[in-house]
Structure 1
């Protein structure tokens, strides 16, 4: 049986992968799919793809586009979550900051350079008309636990992360939420190493067929809201709100969207150039 490794954040967005793995659906097709948690997020997954530690990644759209342009030999094969990601902007419970404007020139905690928390700090700064050279400073904290430590001891001032994932930390008073910053595009895509695509097309098609059959009816799974709330330590009403605004996708990201993302990243000097749609995507 062929072993294939897929990486992703251990968050509610990826519960469909857990369910299909638990049900043995890939094994039934002769595929030993192994899930690898990547709590450090997009930057860590980009590195894991480059190092061939994982074959497939469920990854933030803007992060993998940047990394492919920077030389990561991978391709986007499908959109996974069609709707934007709602990034919460968080500060420590005792921090003096009350508004997003108070964070101008302060230090953002990021999981690593090239991660979503890094790139979205630029988007947020642009949204508020800040000077990107003067008003952005970063502290690398690796993951959510590192962010809790940094915001608590004051080595960083604010942290951007998916708002429903961090909501339990807001509820228990570790963080205060002072705003949101949605991505202006589909948030998660499935990216695969080019060498893996070339030699495993049929297995890849099978994996996508299985996960797509689950995501297309994910919201209809009985008591799915309670399952998510229990598994991820979230309030039921928060999960229901999240389910109401989240849509999965079963198709490849379109050319227009890829161009829009690249134009935004290029304007922020996050990428050096705008490349062709074909350099970034692969249609199975």
Structure 2
């Protein structure tokens, strides 16, 4: 039995993994796959990949590209969710900030440097024409840290996935000023190089099982009700989320896509230089 550890955020995007694990889809391939929730998001997962405490991670595209460029010994093996991620831009419900322009000199709560909440704050600032070098950050570790920071005034705004934070908007903890979608497919699957070298067939089997589940995920009877209950969301919000979310259709990730994303990240001053895009990916189907 091959032991593998997979990690991701405990959000609705990753419910297909729950289904495959619940149904013990991996044991027929002699794989003992164990899931770990990462409440701290992509920055926390990049650290876990580096330290070898997780083998496979479902991470934000921009975060893992930045970290592989900085030496993370992992490869992107495929896109997981090919549609953009919608980042809500949130302030405290009673904040005096009313519009995006009000936030130019405000302090931003981020989970970690290199995380999606950090990198997308830079993307948003670029979109607004702000001086990125003047951005001020407060590291808060996770979503709860963002809630606390906005509540106690140690940060002014916080960017997190629109639908995950919707209950906090509904409950009057956050007020959403606007949204900022990623200019690239949002989630990819990254695997440590050591695992790719030692157990490539096991990785292929894991990918095949999760792709088979995501292919028909939206067709599962009552999936909208299941997700709404599990993630404490309004049913209409889950229906909207399902309508705009597209999982990978089995096609491998290309170096051209990585090049396009790197070009955007250079424009946004997120990375300093272009690296060979082939060095970021491992195509498991060649």
User: TM class by shorter-chain length?
Assistant: over 0.9
Displacement of 1:29 after TM fit? 1.9
* Residue matched to 2:18: 18
* Residue matched to 1:269: 269
Displacement of 1:61 after TM fit? 0.3
Q: Is 2:135 aligned against 1:144?
A: no
- Aligned-partner Cα distance in 2 for 1:64–1:251: 19
Give the TM-score, by structure 1 length.
0.98
Partner SS, residue 88 of structure 1? strand
Displacement of 1:94 after TM fit? 1.1
* Residue matched to 2:127: 127
Partner SS, residue 84 of structure 1? coil
Give the TM-score, by structure 2 length.
0.98
- Aligned-partner Cα distance in 2 for 1:212–1:248: 8
After superposing on structure 2, the runs of 4+ consecutive aligned residues of structure 1 that deviate more than 4 Å are none
Displacement of 1:254 after TM fit? 2.4
Q: Is 2:165 aligned against 1:166?
A: yes
* Correspondences of 1:76-95 after superposition (within 5 Å): 76-95=76-95
* Residue matched to 1:199: 198
Question: How many residues were matched structurally?
Answer: 283
Superposed CA RMSD in Å reads: 0.8
Displacement of 1:3 after TM fit? 1.2
Displacement of 1:88 after TM fit? 0.3
Q: Is 2:230 aligned against 1:239?
A: no
Displacement of 1:255 after TM fit? 2.6
Displacement of 1:256 after TM fit? 2.7
1:118-156 per-position Cα deviation (integer Å, ceiling 9, x unaligned): 00000000000001112x110000000000000000000
- Aligned-partner Cα distance in 2 for 1:251–1:224: 25
- Aligned-partner Cα distance in 1 for 2:90–2:269: 25
Displacement of 1:164 after TM fit? 0.3
* Residue matched to 1:57: 57
- Aligned-partner Cα distance in 2 for 1:269–1:129: 13
* Correspondences of 1:20-59 after superposition (within 5 Å): 20-59=20-59
Displacement of 1:246 after TM fit? 0.4
- Aligned-partner Cα distance in 2 for 1:235–1:261: 33
Displacement of 1:100 after TM fit? 0.8
Please tell me whether the aligned partners of residues 256 and 277 of structure 2 are also in contact (alpha carbons under 8 angstroms): no
* Residue matched to 2:183: 184
* Residue matched to 1:96: 96
Please tell me whether the aligned partners of residues 255 and 281 of structure 2 are also in contact (alpha carbons under 8 angstroms): no
For structure 1, list consecutive stretches of 5 or more residues without a partner in the other structure: none
- Aligned-partner Cα distance in 2 for 1:264–1:278: 17
* Residue matched to 1:175: 174
Partner SS, residue 176 of structure 1? strand
1:242-269 per-position Cα deviation (integer Å, ceiling 9, x unaligned): 0000000022222332112101211232
* Residue matched to 2:153: 154
- Aligned-partner Cα distance in 2 for 1:96–1:212: 45
- Aligned-partner Cα distance in 1 for 2:126–2:112: 20
- Aligned-partner Cα distance in 2 for 1:63–1:175: 25
